[in-house]
Amino acid sequence: MLARMETGGPWAPARRAAMREMVVLQHLYLVAGHRQEAIAMYRQVLAQTHDQMLRTFAYEHLARLQAMPSAPDQAIATLRKALAEDLKALPETSKSP
């Protein structure tokens, strides 16, 4: 997943570090049986950042966590919201007429 993401720019090391930390925290929360805390972590990230890559990363992981207990409707709603944000963030020239 991390390899697919754009890695350029001055904030790339901090962005990659944040992504790694989210993954490690999620793992620890799940090992400890605290799925809701992992969900809350991703929601907190979404509330704190406007970085579109971090937001997309958080939305994707949040949706996977939401789908875990057989709640695909929540996961679908989360991914639809992420998609809408991603499309809105695109430059006007890359959008279809």
Q: Which residues form the domain of 40?
A: 16-88
The H or E element that residue 85 is part of is helix 72-89
Separation between Cα atoms, residue 35 and residue 54, nearest integer Å: 20
Q: What's this model's pTM, rounded to 2 decimal places?
A: 0.74
DSSP percent split of the chain into helix, strand, coil, nearest 5 = 75, 0, 25
pLDDT digits (tens, 9 = 90+) for 64-77: 999 887 778 888 88
Q: How many residues does the chain have?
A: 97
Domain-located, residue 97: no
Domain-located, residue 6: no
Q: Helix (H, G, I), strand (E, B), or coil: what is residue 45?
A: helix
Domain-located, residue 65: yes
pLDDT digits (tens, 9 = 90+) for 7-35: 567 678 889 999 999 999 999 999 999 99
Domain-located, residue 77: yes
Domain-located, residue 67: yes
Domain-located, residue 8: no
